[in-house]
Amino acid sequence: MRRTLSAAATLAAAALPLLAQVPDARLRDVRREPANWLTYSGDFGAQRYSPLAQITPANVGSLRPAWVYQATESGAMQASPLVVDGVMYLTEFRGHVVALDARSGRVLWRYQQTLPEKLLTLGFGPTNRGVAVLDSTVFVGTADARLVALDARSGAVRWTAAVADNALGYAITAAPLAFGGLVVIGISGAEAGIRGFLDAYDARTGERRWRFHTIPAPGEPGSETWSGDAWKTGGGSTWVTGSYDPALNVVYWGVGNPGPDWNGDLRPGDNLFTCSLIAIDAATGRLRWHFQYTPHDTHDWDASQIPVLFDGKFKGKPRRFVAMANRNGFYYLLDRVTGEFLLGEPYIRQDWAEGLDPKGRPILRPNTEPTEEGTPLTPNLHGATNWYSPAFSPGTGLLYVASRQMSSRYFKAPVTYEPGRFFMGGGETEFGGDSAQGAVQALDPLSGKARWRFPLFSPPWAGLLATGGGLVFGGTNEGVFFSLDAASGRPLWHFQTGAMIQANPIAYAIGGRQYVAIAAGGTLQVFSLVGSPPGASP
Amino acid sequence: MRLLSLSSLIWLAIAAPLAGQADSASDPVLAGAELAAVERLFVSQCARCHGMGGTGGIAPSFRQPKLRRAPTDDAMVRVILSGIPGTAMAGFWNLSEDEARQLTAYVRSLGRLPPERVPGDSGRGRALYAGPGNCSTCHILAGDGAGWAPDLTDVGRRLNAAFLRRALIEPGADQPVLPLPSVHGPYPAYLVIEVTTGSGKTLSGTRVSEDDFTLVLRAVDGRLHSLEKTSLKALRKLPGQSPMPSYATAFSAEQLDDLVAYLASLKGEQ
């Protein structure tokens, strides 16, 4: 009897239509469900803000480890996990995907990534920064430049799309951005002289819907900023996940450095759309507008940072903003409808530009180009910040940035393009050790001025999280995960994780208990308050 | 050719432990066009992470005689072609074995000192080391002595005579460097720090470890002090100072020659 019953129950379940786990509507309205962390940056505006308020400046002192996940693949995890209804989706080094019970840390399934033996990751190693989720599918990019769609419940492969040719140095490290039936994915490889692009794939079939080339071909808009064949190896990677405005249906994405990195003689001109922010119509893949932060870059200052979206008033007028603390040392505020430059201010001590002109173009100081003898300059190639995320708190109205104060000597060298090899034309010797520092800074996003700064021992490689409880979380190279008062920058709590932190924190909740998570080395470490939270379900 | 002068320039520009290092041109293994070609290869394929001239960056510096992961030339060829799993050092399978061998020779040359003739008598120097110098109260040498100051077992491979002499006369002028784990080096390994604790006590010692919140100091008596930075009233870093006494007046010029000759003879071979 019992057997028949359960068989019948199984049949009934099978007959149910597949429930879409995370329909687009949920992604558009993430603020209604703060218990989850549904996109790479927490929301389409890329604010990396959690409204959760159980952990506060008053009680953060009793934050303790809840559980730790140890990766099976050796290598530092740089991923920002997602949390969907109690399940965490995380990627390890080399891009394996694991689904974990977000309360206990127990493994639910694992997708083992197979990478070819002859893999090319020129300049970064086979790291992976996370997944995207839409409906009941999890999307992950691979180091050999494929995009893979996995069933969210089992990890089974739904489809695989070949994005580009890894033999030429194309690779994927970024987390995809999924919405409205599309999966948008960026590409890495500018150090190999690729021609960059931003792609969108059909979330259901894996078919490519559009491609925007970040380096225009002759005749296309922007091609006047290139000469000869330089565009063919012009770089312009899109290796950090962008943001999205559903109301405008526009994707905002940072574009990386031109190729070759340091020898600009081979590519005279501004080299659009490298080191720019591009605003792409999500329906067509066409360019709405662009803003170039660093024209004709020769210092590897990719604009591969997070474009943060928020709304407010500028000079009395309501505006929709896109803000970016750029690798070149300047913070920029733009109107995200038109791309109009509103303001730009340095946020570290830089010495390559006198300032910005009224259009936001840098006013160069003399003798800042790399030379054969070496040119000392600030910031160094890793920039005033890097791929790791800033955080914006609607509560304090402040933009939190982990910044790097480091100089180096830039060299130029002759270079010729060889497919599948480094194509850089120079290098640097950095001024490290005690001469370099970092900071967490709280910028007033409407003026670019720092409200407070918390100094860091060395230039960081970890992002920040702001919470509704009034906290900012961050990590250090020395392995410390820490929390600051979001209003004052006062340090409130810290924990030695045991490995360099080069990842972004997130927050989520289960059963009324708030958790904060960060990857450190080959582990993911999750923290919550000691004792049972008020109103927690058993 | 240009790159050659470039690497010696870098060399002057940064104070590094292998001071007075030879131009790689004097290296017997690599010379002329072959050297220029491998140097080009290094700049284009390796300098991104290991720094121009192998001075280090997100990857280790090559300005040292021993490499942790590449103790032998064969091991280095393997590291270059196959990489180091779990790190940014991906295998350069698209280089030929020949290129990997040349790069290995080049990388080795960056960490090697040129042979030099050193005046002085190393036998007498050895006696000074063991006797009146009291060196082994701080240093360890071939397993003997106290181990908190630099291990001198192979110091003759790491430092040239001029550098050794300066270490005896002006300790603290050049600091051995410590690549703090996973962090952009070089950090001086024996930075002297003086702190005033919450209770008003003054402590001084060399830095063993530091981050934003913690500091571990080793006092002159060898004892470790683990401190929370927020509880300190004051923290002063004293670059240029050293716990090592200067031997400029304690020893005659001749004795210093002998000591330098002895140190220069220490190659670490058992």
**CATH code of the domain containing A510:** 2.140.10.10
Average pLDDT over residues B109-129: 92
How close, in Å, is residue B120 to chain A by CA atoms?
Answer: 36
The residue in chain A having the minimum alpha-carbon distance to the alpha carbon of residue B5 is A373
Choose from B52, B187, B191 for mutation: most chain A CBs within 10 A: B52
- Predicted TM-score (pTM) of the model is 0.90
Give the dihedral of Cα atoms A260, A261, A264, A269; nearest 10 deg.
Answer: 90
**Is the Cβ pair B85, A74 closer than 8 Å?**
yes
Q: Quote the strand ranges of A118-156, DSSP E.
A: 132-134, 137-141, 146-151
- Which residues contact residue A343 at a Cβ distance below 8 angstroms, ignoring those fewer than 6 apart? A314, A332, A333, A446, A447, A448
- Report phi then psi at A386, rounded to 5: -145, -145
For chain B, what's the residue count?
270
| Domain parsing of chain B, residue ranges | 6-110, 122-169+247-264, 192-238
The alpha carbon of residue B203 is apart from the nearest alpha carbon of chain A, in Å, by 21
Does A419 contact chain B (CB < 8 Å)? no
Beta strands in B74-184 (DSSP E): 140-141, 144-145, 177-178
In this complex, which of A411, A429, A457 lies closest to B14 when CB atoms are compared? A429
Question: Given this model, what pLDDT does residue A8 score?
Answer: 45
Residue B125, by phi and psi: left (phi above 0), alpha (psi -120 to 50) or beta?
A: alpha
Is residue A335 annotated as part of the catalytic site, yes or no? Answer: no
pLDDT of A276 reads 98
Question: Longest Cα pair distance anywhere in chain A, in angstroms?
Answer: 87
CATH superfamily of B6-110: Cytochrome c-like domain (1.10.760.10)
What is the distance of C-alpha A52 from the center of its chain?
22
pLDDT at residue B63 in the model: 86
Q: Judge whether B2 is closer than 8 Å to chain A, CB to CB.
A: yes
pLDDT for B29 equals: 64
Q: Assign residue A518 a region: left if phi > 0, alpha if psi is -120 to 50, beta otherwise?
A: beta
Q: Render pLDDT for A102-123 as a digit per residue (tens, 0 to 9).
A: 999 999 999 999 999 899 998 8
Count of CB contacts below 8 A, A vs B?
135
pLDDT at B177 over 80: no
- Segment-wise mean pLDDT, segments of 10 residues, chain A, 538 residues: 46 52 96 97 98 98 97 95 97 98 97 94 92 98 98 97 97 98 97 97 98 98 96 98 98 98 96 98 98 98 98 97 98 98 98 98 97 96 97 98 96 94 91 91 98 96 98 97 98 96 98 97 96 56
pLDDT at residue A18, as a whole number: 55
Is A329 part of any domain? yes
Q: Is residue A352 part of a domain?
A: yes
> Which pLDDT score, from 0 to 100, does residue A19 have?
63
What SS3 state is found at B166? Answer: helix
Given a cut of 60, is residue B17 above it in pLDDT?
no
Q: What is the distance between the alpha carbons of residues A7 and B84, in angstroms, rounded to a whole number?
A: 51
Number of domains in chain A: 1
- Whether the per-residue pLDDT at B8 is higher than 50: the answer is no
Which residue in the list A199, A300, A302, A485 is annotated as catalytic? A300
A395 token code pair: 């509560």
Residue with tokens 């190393």: B122
Which one of B4, B211, B216, B231 makes the best mutation probe of the A interface by having the most chain A beta carbons within 10 Å? B211
CA-based nearest distance A126→chain B, Å? 7
Does A534 reside within a domain? no
* pLDDT reading at B33 higher than 90: no
What's residue A293's pLDDT?
Answer: 98
B250: pLDDT strictly greater than 90: yes
Q: Give A343-357 pLDDT, tens digit per residue.
A: 999 999 999 999 999
Q: Which of residues 53-72 of B touch A (CB under 8 A)?
A: 53, 55-58
Residue A536: other Cβ atoms inside 10 A: 13
Residue A535 inside a domain? The answer is: no
DSSP H or E stretch at residue A179: strand A177-179
CATH code given to domain B192-238: 2.30.30.100
Query: Does A478 touch chain B if contact means CB atoms closer than 8 Å?
Result: yes
B192-238 matches B6-110 in CATH topology: no
Residue A2's pLDDT is 45
B213: cis peptide before it, omega within 30°? Answer: no
Question: What is the share, in percent, of chain B residues with pLDDT greater than 90?
Answer: 57
Q: How many Å lie between the alpha carbon of B163 and the closest alpha carbon of chain A? A: 21
Residue A249 counted as domain residue: yes
Q: Do A434 and B6 touch (CB under 8 A)?
A: no
- Of A394-403, B52-61, B182-191, the poorest mean pLDDT is in B182-191
Asked if residue B256 has pLDDT above 60, the reply is yes
On the 0-12 / 13-18 / 19+ scale of CB atoms within 10 A, A472 is buried
Q: What is the pLDDT of residue B25?
A: 36
Q: Which residue has 């990997």 as its token pair?
A: B100
- Tell whether B182 lies on the interface with A, counting CB pairs under 8 A: yes
**Contact assessment for residue A152 and residue A116, using Cβ atoms and an 8 Å cutoff:** no
Q: How far is CA A46 from the centre of its chain?
A: 9
Say whether pLDDT at B9 is over 50. Answer: no
Interchain proximity B211–A427, CB inside 8 Å: no
The predicted structure's pLDDT at residue B5: 29
Residue A448: domain span: 2-529
CA distance A161 to chain B (A): 24
Q: Which of residues 186-205 of A touch B (CB under 8 A)?
A: 191
Task: Please provide the average confidence, as pLDDT, over all residues in chain B.
Answer: 84
Cβ atoms of A86 and B49 closer than 8 Å: no
Q: Are B238 and B218 in contact (CB under 8 A)?
A: no
